[in-house]
């Protein structure tokens, strides 16, 4: 399979972007079945218009040095310790504002970058300096890169899923109630799930062949056009569906949802990726991925301000010597006030 990891990434994005399908949420206190709790939690996510929180993820490679070429050993040896990504985020769909501070770590080195968006304006921070990338978004050479797309009709989408026999909740597998807990002063229920990746891929194949669905979620065609060759083909998705049990093992997702409102407060996931032989990753026995998202606030006012000082995007292009507008973003980790309340 030529691009298994890209295909999984696409399916995951598609799954997560639609997993919130449902109607207005309600509390969980009156419910006693984990299945009903999960459905209510998915429904309640439709009420979220703003949030702040933090995230963290670790990627641990398990290597067999005896199977690695000398050159590969020198490179992959840097990943004997986990590679990490962590940071904070703030989002308000009503204010059309987004703010993220991200730190990457690998082989004892850390790199920090920032992203800030207000309406159709955007800024990137790298090496401690902010750059305005609004003009890059408007550049026809980069395609249609509007930051805020019009939302689709949720009710119409749900009805279409019903016609196709697709149940988003089933993607999570049968949930299990771990118990009632307290998280940062909030009473929550802890649900444990073992997502059904094979079902996700099967449903993704159905959806990608359904013109009405594509028109519902991407009426102008800009999203799928911008993905271009990176969009996995149907044959690649079918190959992925066949390889999922061997490639993606021990996939678990834990959810902590508020008793009173059913809103997600924390999510944690684990996945063990075992590369197939055709991936040509000899010496890599597996890659363990763990990730956590914790929400500090939900549906409270979020204020994101434009950076006080920033340079034009052309200055960033000149620094990297790359006119494409697409380049790595590394920084110094300066604490320059990501959130403003």
Supply the pLDDT for residue 227.
54
Reported as a single tens digit per residue, the pLDDT across 211-257 is: 888 888 777 666 566 555 556 677 777 777 777 888 889 999 999 99
**Is 100 inside a domain boundary?**
no
Give the position of tokens 């702040």. 52
Q: Report if residue 329 sits inside a domain.
A: no
Residue 73 structural domain = 4-86+171-299
Domain contains 220: yes
Confirm whether 94 is domain-assigned: no
Segments of 107-175 assigned E as strands = 109-118, 121-126, 129-132
| Cα(87)–Cα(3) distance, integer angstroms | 28
Using the predicted structure, report yes or no on whether residue 6 has a pLDDT greater than 80.
no
Query: Tens of pLDDT along 196-209?
Result: 988 988 898 888 88
- Dist. CA 154–CA 17, nearest whole Å: 12
* pLDDT value, residue 220: 66
Mean pLDDT of 74-86: 80
Residue 178 has pLDDT above 90, yes or no: yes
User: Is a pLDDT exceeding 60 seen at residue 141?
Assistant: no
Which has more confidence, 166 or 216? 166
107, part of any domain: no
Give CA–CA dist 55/268, Å, rounded: 10
Look at residue 314 and tell me if it is in a domain: no
pLDDT range class, residue 154, cuts 50, 70, 90: confident
Number of domains in the chain: 1
In order, the DSSP letters of 315-334 are HHHHHHT-TTS---------
In a domain, 204, yes or no: yes
Neighbours of 31 (CB within 10 A): 18
CA-only gyration radius of the chain, Å: 21
Residue 108 belongs to a domain: no
Please say if the pLDDT value at position 329 is more than 60: no
Classified as helix, coil or strand, 300 is coil
């Amino acid at each position: 399979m030529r691009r298994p990891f890209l295909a999984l990434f696409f399916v995951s994005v598609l799954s997560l972007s639609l997993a919130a399908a449902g109607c207005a949420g309600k509390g969980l206190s009156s419910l006693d079945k984990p299945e009903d709790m999960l459905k209510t939690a998915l429904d309640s996510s439709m009420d979220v218009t703003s949030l702040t929180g933090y995230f963290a993820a670790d990627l641990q490679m398990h290597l067999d040095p005896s199977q690695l070429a000398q050159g590969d050993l020198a490179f992959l040896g840097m990943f004997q310790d986990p590679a990490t990504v962590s940071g904070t985020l703030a989002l308000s769909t009503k204010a059309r504002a987004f703010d993220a501070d991200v730190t990457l770590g690998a082989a004892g080195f850390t790199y920090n970058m920032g992203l800030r968006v207000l309406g159709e304006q955007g800024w990137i921070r790298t090496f401690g300096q902010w750059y305005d990338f609004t003009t890059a978004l408007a550049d026809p050479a980069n395609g249609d890169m509007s930051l805020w797309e019009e939302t689709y009709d949720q009710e119409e989408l749900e009805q279409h899923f019903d016609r196709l026999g697709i149940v988003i909740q089933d993607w999570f597998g049968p949930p299990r109630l771990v118990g009632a807990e307290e998280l940062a002063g909030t009473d929550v229920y802890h649900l444990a799930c073992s997502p059904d990746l094979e079902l996700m891929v099967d449903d993704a194949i159905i959806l990608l062949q359904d013109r009405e669905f594509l028109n519902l979620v991407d009426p102008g065609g800009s999203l799928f056009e911008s993905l271009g060759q990176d969009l996995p083909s149907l044959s690649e998705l079918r190959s992925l569906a066949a390889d999922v049990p061997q490639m993606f093992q021990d996939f678990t997702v834990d959810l902590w949802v508020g008793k009173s409102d059913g809103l997600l407060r924390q999510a944690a996931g684990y996945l063990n990726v075992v590369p197939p032989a055709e991936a040509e990753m000899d010496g890599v026995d597996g890659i363990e991925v763990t990730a956590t998202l914790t929400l500090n606030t939900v549906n409270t006012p979020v204020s994101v301000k434009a950076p006080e000082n920033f340079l034009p995007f052309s200055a960033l292009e000149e620094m990297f010597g790359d006119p494409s507008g697409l380049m790595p973003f590394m920084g110094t980790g300066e604490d320059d006030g990501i959130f403003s309340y």
